[in-house]
């Protein structure tokens, strides 16, 4: 079955889909993106991702002539045309095509909009969660606006490659104070040695994860003790549990950090419960 992509108003074969060589996304990473998990063909955490998309676009002063409702139609149609039941849908908006020059183009240009969708094998995803994954720690090398979900992801790419070469699923960035900021494509969490669920606060230079926000709401609903407070790598290595959250990873237990095995090396009960409840809730609320 051939994949279909949406590019600037048209659905086209994925293999032939393209944008111009002077697209500012290609030349300057001048654009933003958003990713929704898809459950039963519908968008998980739909509103949160649309809100963040609007914020990211606003921060870069890119305006698109499409309402949220219109974008929703495009996302769902891309999901449908790719026969995705469970998986992910990716949306990217760049400032558009213009002769290469750093400042914004003088005249109005049309932003480029690309949407793709792919299936995820939920059986494999659940098996991976049941095993738990390894993360490595790497120095924080990113810019000061990680709250904007831009397509400028080179430090994240390098960190992920380092993780892959170390047999790990994710890399956690660590700032100059030895505090974990977040993962290369996820937010980082622990259940600390005292049993407190912790994830870094969003005053820090991190992405305001949509899954993170939903999981915090679930933690409150379940009556868990939690804090939005940074943790050190040492605290993480001595933690009872760790996990990551994101539209791709959902809630994914972490069982090793660098060479340290957490607890008995199996996913912890809090991470497992939050994963189950998150998936159940996200599936139920998907729109």
Asked if 125 is part of the footprint of ligand PLP (rule: CB under 6 A), the reply reads no
Q: How far is the CB of 191 from ligand PLP (least distance, A)?
A: 19
Asked if 82 is part of the footprint of ligand PLP (rule: CB under 6 A), the reply reads no
- Cα–Cα distance for residue pair 53/170, rounded to 1 Å: 24
Token digits of residue 143: 């810019």
Choosing from 46, 125, 186, 255, the residue that interacts with ligand PLP (CB under 6 A) is 186
Asked if 135 is part of the footprint of ligand PLP (rule: CB under 6 A), the reply reads no
Q: How far is the CB of 92 from ligand PLP (least distance, A)?
A: 13
Cβ neighbourhood burial of 126 (10 Å; 0-12, 13-18, 19+): middle
Q: How far is the CB of 161 from ligand PLP (least distance, A)?
A: 15
Closer CB to ligand PLP, residue 210 or residue 271?
A: 210
Which segments of 9-151 does DSSP mark as H helices, in order?
Answer: 24-28, 46-59, 68-81, 122-131
Q: Residue 155's closest CA among 137, 140, 165, 135?
A: 140
Closer CB to ligand PLP, residue 25 or residue 246?
A: 246
Choosing from 209, 253, 267, 268, the residue that interacts with ligand PLP (CB under 6 A) is 209
The footprint of ligand PLP on residues 224-243 (CB under 6 A) is none
What DSSP assignment string belongs to 55-96?
HHHHHTT---S--HHHHHHHHHHHHHHTT-SSEEEEEEEE--
Choosing from 30, 170, 182, 241, the residue that interacts with ligand PLP (CB under 6 A) is 182
Name the residue whose CB lies closest to ligand PLP. 211
Q: How far is the CB of 133 from ligand PLP (least distance, A)?
A: 15
Q: Residue 240's closest CA among 286, 177, 192?
A: 192
Q: How far is the CB of 197 from ligand PLP (least distance, A)?
A: 16
Query: Segment near ligand PLP (CB under 6 A), from 92-100, 179-187, 264-272, 273-281?
Result: 179-187
Asked if 181 is part of the footprint of ligand PLP (rule: CB under 6 A), the reply reads no
Active-site annotation, residues: 149
- Cα–Cα distance for residue pair 276/251, rounded to 1 Å: 8
Distances (CA, A) of 237 to 50, 68, 193, 259, 287: 35, 42, 10, 9, 38
Choosing from 78, 137, 187, 199, the residue that interacts with ligand PLP (CB under 6 A) is 187
Q: How far is the CB of 241 from ligand PLP (least distance, A)?
A: 19
- Cα–Cα distance for residue pair 51/58, rounded to 1 Å: 11
Asked if 199 is part of the footprint of ligand PLP (rule: CB under 6 A), the reply reads no
Asked if 134 is part of the footprint of ligand PLP (rule: CB under 6 A), the reply reads no
- Cα–Cα distance for residue pair 49/108, rounded to 1 Å: 26
Binding mask 20-59 for ligand PLP (x = CB under 6 A): ---------------x------------------------
- Residue 22 sits at the vertex; the CA angle it makes with 18 and 23, to the nearest 5 degrees, is 60
List of residues contacting ligand PLP (CB under 6 A)? 35, 182, 185-187, 207, 209-212, 245-247
């Amino acid at each position: 079955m051939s994949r279909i992509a949406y590019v600037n108003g048209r659905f086209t074969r994925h293999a032939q889909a393209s944008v111009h060589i002077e697209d500012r996304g290609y030349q300057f990473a001048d654009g933003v993106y958003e990713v929704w998990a898809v459950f039963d063909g519908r968008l998980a955490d739909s509103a949160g991702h649309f809100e963040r998309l609007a914020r990211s676009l606003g921060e870069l002063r890119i305006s698109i002539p499409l309402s949220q409702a219109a974008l929703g139609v495009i996302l769902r149609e891309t999901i449908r045309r790719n026969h995705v039941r469970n998986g992910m849908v990716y949306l990217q908006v760049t400032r558009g095509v213009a002769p290469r020059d750093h400042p914004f183009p003088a005249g109005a240009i049309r932003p480029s909009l690309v949407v793709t969708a792919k299936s995820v094998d939920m059986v494999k995803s659940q098996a991976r969660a049941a095993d738990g994954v390894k993360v490595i720690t790497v120095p924080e090398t990113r810019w000061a606006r990680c709250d904007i979900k831009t397509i400028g992801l080179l430090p994240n790419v390098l960190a992920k490659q380092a993780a892959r070469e170390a047999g790990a699923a994710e890399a956690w960035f660590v700032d100059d104070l030895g505090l974990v900021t977040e993962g290369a494509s996820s937010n980082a969490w622990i259940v600390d040695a005292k049993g407190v669920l912790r994830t870094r606060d969003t005053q820090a230079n991190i992405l305001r994860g949509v899954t993170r926000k939903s999981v915090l709401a679930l933690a409150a609903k379940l009556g868990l003790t939690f804090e939005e407070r940074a943790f050190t790598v040492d605290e993480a290595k001595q933690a009872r549990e760790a996990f990551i959250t994101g539209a791709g990873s959902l809630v994914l237990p972490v069982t090793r950090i660098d060479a340290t095995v957490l607890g008995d090396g199996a996913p912890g009960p809090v991470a497992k419960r939050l994963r189950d409840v998150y998936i159940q809730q996200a599936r139920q609320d998907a729109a």
